[in-house]
Amino acid sequence: MARNRRRTPVSKPRWRLSALRLRQLISLAALLGVGIVVLWGALRVLDRPIRAITISGDFERVSPVQIEAALGSLDGVGFLSADLDKLQRRVEKLAWVEQAGVQRRWPGELSVTVIEQTPAARWRDDGLLNTRGDLFLKSARHIPAELPSLVGPPGSEARVARRYLEMRGPLAESGYQLAAVHLDDRGAWRIQLGNGLEVRFGRQQFEQRFARFLALVTPLLASRDTGARHVDMRYSRGFTVAWTPVSRKEQEEQVGMDTNV
């Protein structure tokens, strides 16, 4: 008895489709390779040596010669391959440079823009703080005479600068210029005004004592013809004023009690 055998046809189109995809991938890879070679060649042609460097900014403390020296030698450095971030960091390492920008200008020029530091206060003997309270120069040869003097322990630059900014406006509204702020190693505060008056606040309750000084002491000082030498606010309910002697022995007016330094 004959048996009927069923044969399963081989799916030849599937193999043909796979071969087609393989050829497509090979063609795509070849095209990509050609594109990469062309791009590489174009970059080689365009990455020509840097021909010029322009430096711009309002220069008072930094010279273009210093900036050029900070950039270093650019011999052999290509226009496209130059590391702009690295060049920027080199310039910003200069003491008087606050911010720098380096850009490319076609076809072969680098443009360097520099913003100098703005000194806002003197720190201790010969340091300089910028407007953010950062100590950007530890030893300055020349310090503008009009800068306020800030003094404090190492690492307290920003804290003392903030305190100065907090007091400067309210004192100016009362008619006084803030000339100096001092924070000692114990954490005690004292200030000096533009007229030479020293005000001592101590370590505790600074905000309350400063508010009391503005509300009570400044009107008292304005009403007296005789100048004051120093004011001591280190009291829980008052203050003392040491008046400058004119023709009689120095007197000290005391208001309040319960010293709490």
- Per the CB < 8 A criterion, the answer to whether 97 and 114 are in contact is yes
Residue 20 has pLDDT above 80, yes or no: no
145-173: pLDDT as tens digits: 899 999 999 999 999 999 999 999 999 99
| Residues 171, 104 share a domain | no
Residue 250 has pLDDT above 50, yes or no: no
In a domain, 76, yes or no: yes
Residue 40 has pLDDT above 60, yes or no: no
Give the pLDDT band of residue 141 (cuts 50, 70, 90).
confident
In a domain, 47, yes or no: no
| Residues 222, 107 share a domain | no
Which residues make Cβ contacts (< 8 Å) with residue 16, sequence separation at least 6?
A: none
Residue 228 has pLDDT above 60, yes or no: yes
42-73: pLDDT as tens digits: 455 566 888 889 999 999 999 999 999 999 98
| Residues 251, 125 share a domain | yes
Give the pLDDT band of residue 188 (cuts 50, 70, 90).
very high
Question: For the chain, what is the domain count?
Answer: 2
Which pTM value belongs to this model?
0.70
| Residues 107, 134 share a domain | no
Looking at residue 1, its pLDDT comes to 47
User: 34 versus 21: which is more confidently predicted?
Assistant: 21
Residue 135 has pLDDT above 90, yes or no: yes
Looking at residue 115, its pLDDT comes to 96
Looking at residue 12, its pLDDT comes to 52
| Residues 196, 82 share a domain | no
For all residues of the chain together, what is the average pLDDT? 83
Select from 118, 114, 119, 121 the least CA-distant residue to 93. Answer: 114
| Residues 212, 111 share a domain | no
Report, as an integer, the average pLDDT of 230-234.
96
Domain hosting 107: range is 52-116
Looking at residue 126, its pLDDT comes to 92
Q: How far is CA 216 from CA 73, 195, 208, 224, 233, in A?
A: 64, 18, 12, 13, 11
Looking at residue 15, its pLDDT comes to 47
In a domain, 140, yes or no: yes
Looking at residue 71, its pLDDT comes to 93
Which residues make Cβ contacts (< 8 Å) with residue 122, sequence separation at least 6?
A: 128, 129, 143, 147, 148, 149, 150
Domain holding 77: CATH number?
A: 3.10.20.310
Residue 247 has pLDDT above 50, yes or no: no
Give the pLDDT band of residue 205 (cuts 50, 70, 90).
very high
| Residues 110, 61 share a domain | yes
| Residues 141, 72 share a domain | no
In a domain, 251, yes or no: yes
| Residues 165, 82 share a domain | no
Looking at residue 243, its pLDDT comes to 86
| Residues 136, 112 share a domain | no
Residue 230 has pLDDT above 90, yes or no: yes
CA–CA distance, 105 with 114 (Å, rounded to integer): 16
Q: Is 101 exposed, middle or buried (CB count within 10 Å of its CB: 0-12, 13-18, 19+)?
A: middle
Give the pLDDT band of residue 234 (cuts 50, 70, 90).
very high
**The last residue of a domain, from among 116, 137, 160:** 116
